[in-house]
Amino acid sequence: METKKHRNTHRGAWLLFCLFGLAFSLLFARFIQLGWTGKAEGHPVAEIAEQQRKQTRTLEAKRGTIFDRNDGILAQDVPSYTLVAVLDPNMTTDPNHPRHVVDPEKTAKKLAPLLGMDVEKMKRILTKKAKQVEFGSYGRNISFELKRKIEALDLPGIAFIRDTTRFYPNGTFASYVVGYAQKNEHNDTVGQMGIEKQLDRYLREKDGYVSFDGDANGFRLPGGKEHIVKPNNGANVYLTIDEKIQTFLEDAMNGVEKQYRPKKMIAIVADPKTGKILAMATRPSFDPNKRNITNFFNDAISYPYEPGSTMKVFTLAAAINEGVYNGNETFHSGSYRVGPNIVRDHNDVGWGTITFNEGVQRSSNVAFSILVKEKLGEDRFLQYLHRFHFDQKTGIDLPNEAVGQIRYRYPIERITTGFGQGTSVTPIQQIQAATAIANDGKMMKPYVIEKVVDPDSGKVLLDHEPTVVGEPITAETARKVRDILETVVTSEHGTGRPYQIEGYRVAGKTGTAQIPSAAGGYLTGRENYIFSFLGMAPADDPKLLMYVAVQQPHLDVTETGAAPVSQIFTTVMKSSLQYLHIQPVEEKRTEEKKAQRPLDSFIGQPAELAAKQLKESGYVPVVIGRGRSVEDQLPQAGEDVLVGERVVLKTDGTAAMPDLRGFSLRDAMKVARVLGLRPSTKGSGYVISQSIRPGAEVRKGDYLIVELAPPRQWEEAAARKAKEAAERKDDGPHE
């Protein structure tokens, strides 16, 4: 029996010996094979080991920021967050502090309203068989403010993934100029329209990385090698667009769009001395943050159409420059025969025998037909069309510029071109040509890009300077044209009377362009026109040049097409001239000016005493900081300040963020400037929220994002917050 036992034991030992021997032989053979070939599964062993040892971390770069000409931010990369929900119960190690979603129904009811999402839809997502889920478009691009609200709910398992998004703080604002950029399938931000597309090669960023020797858990090994490739931030772009003037334009166009519901609107404001485009807008437009685009072309540069009577400006300039224009000479208005065709004035019957100056004022088609056919000659007029560059693109630094077509084949086309029919041009072509009228004969190339700057080195990579592209007329001719165009606005017969601006001399020309019909001929009806105005001010030495066109507005029976056009032109031109401190012809002291007085200096004074003095003088002091004495102030000493205006005082010591709710944009920017913050705004009106909470310590260079709303919306937001505060107080302990 015992012998049998020993025999079985020996057999088992022998079997184990054979198994271990076989395993060792295979392992030894594998070791020999790896050593001989240096490869495992076809891949070099050394390379695999190096990959396991080498750790890499991405160093994120930032796409370039787009600024206006006063350093206001028009487009920038900002932190954004993607909302995720952890559903895996294994992530929770302490039941008292769960790290996964423990109550999907409760979580959905609290979270869904903040995302604008259906509760049941969110509940279905939260009950999926998955370790982690996202919420689609509802949970992407979460703002910092919304993130804070979600975090305040203290919901288990709800977390955020940090990212960056392209943010356009002003929403629908010079949208076709700035354009937009979005991430592609490789998660790279790429420009798709406007400056974002035009300068994508400058704006685009390139991430860097740091690589080092690490262990299997990703920790750095002592004495290991390290290699750093710095991130390459995108270059910053500075535009000629003036945020203030653009705001005037956007607000005016919004009002007209709401009141008249036109099919299209186009407006451009330029500096005629340089060619800089200070504002450009079209309707319909879009919000680059939402990309709710219905028209993918910038009509200001991509929409050629028959301009109508604004073209008469250049016919007049050609006739004066050639010495063939006599404003006191008379002609018989009403109709003019060109071969088998008859040209008629816009009232069909004309005004009898009138002077050419009155013909300009009344916008007589007959007067300009005579100028082209009998005074200038058709061939010489064609030369001036070329001299004003109506046969070519302006070369403005925006994508997809189109060019009009000079229709000059038939005799009638040569005549109608003189008063803006048949031949087509773009709005930007008219602006460029009109700079010659406003700039004493020198025609300036329009441009919107001021410069491109490397943010790290400060090196200027691209710098645009004013460019004279031609001198189609003399300075004397330009002055004479402006004098006559001023009478279009001031004369009792002038079609431009609605464009008068109190205190300023305006020179310009109205336009009423027919719209071709798909069935042939032109559309009929009192609203089926493109109504426009090309004007400049002050007339004697224009500082601003503006073109406005409104297509097919809905007019009241008592209104003309000048109503919506003049509403935009006069509002924007007057506000812009005042903003640029261009004095009216006759300065009138208003009650507001009487209430202005130079501000004293409070620097070095005790903050408490300075605040008291400001209050006694009728100002509203805003004291920032916990120090005792004032070290900076805005407005600065000597500046004229309106009674009731906020005066920001910064003390020495630690600076704390004030509550900006209710502040105007101007006052909020005072605070940002005093504190050295990098501001960004969203909306217009008064501040309703801010990214840096009140009372928080701030440092120079911090980002400050403020959201603004119109007065009524701000009042509603303030009332809502007051009500919520009162409810929280009522819910508290009672004595």
Is the model's pLDDT at 79 over the cut of 90? no
Is a pLDDT exceeding 90 seen at residue 205?
no
Most confident of 43-57, 175-189, 269-283: 269-283
Kindly indicate the confidence band of residue 342, based on its pLDDT and cuts at 50, 70 and 90. Answer: very high
Class at the top of the CATH hierarchy for domain 596-730 = alpha beta
Structure tokens at 283: 């309707």
Instruction: Judge whether 302 counts as a catalytic residue.
Output: no
Q: Which residue has the higher pLDDT, 606 or 533?
A: 533
Residue 547's contacts (CB-CB under 8 Å, 6 or more residues apart) are 266, 267, 268, 310, 427, 430, 431, 434, 532, 533, 534, 535
pLDDT at 726: 59
Catalytic residue among 143, 302, 309, 576: 309
Q: Given pLDDT bands bounded at 50, 70 and 90, which one contains residue 702?
A: confident
Name the more confident of 29 and 352. Answer: 352
Across 311-357, the runs of DSSP E, i.e. the strands, are: 330-332, 335-338, 341-344, 353-355
Is pLDDT above 50 for 732?
Answer: no
> Any idea what DSSP says for residue 453?
E
**For residue 289, with 0-12 CB atoms within 10 Å meaning exposed, 13-18 middle and 19 or more buried, which class applies?**
middle
Residue 514 has pLDDT above 80, yes or no: yes
CB 684 within 8 A of CB 708: yes
pLDDT at 210: 66
From CA 491, how far away is CA 505, in angstroms rounded?
12
Query: What backbone phi and psi angles, to 5 degrees, belong to 198?
Result: -60, -40
pTM of the shown model: 0.70
- pLDDT tens-digit series, residues 540-589: 999 999 999 999 999 998 889 999 999 999 999 999 999 999 988 754 44
pLDDT at 459 over 50: yes
CATH of range 243-287+298-579; options 3.40.50.2000, 2.40.50.100, 3.40.50.720, 3.40.710.10:
3.40.710.10
Q: Which two tokens stand for residue 666?
A: 């101007």
For tokens 């203290």, name the residue: 154
Whether the ω angle into residue 113 lies within 30 degrees of 0, i.e. cis, is: no
Asked whether residue 717 carries a pLDDT value surpassing 80, the answer given is: no
What span, in angstroms and rounded, lies between the C-alpha atoms of 47 and 35? 14
Level-2 CATH architecture, domain 63-204: Alpha-Beta Complex (3.90)
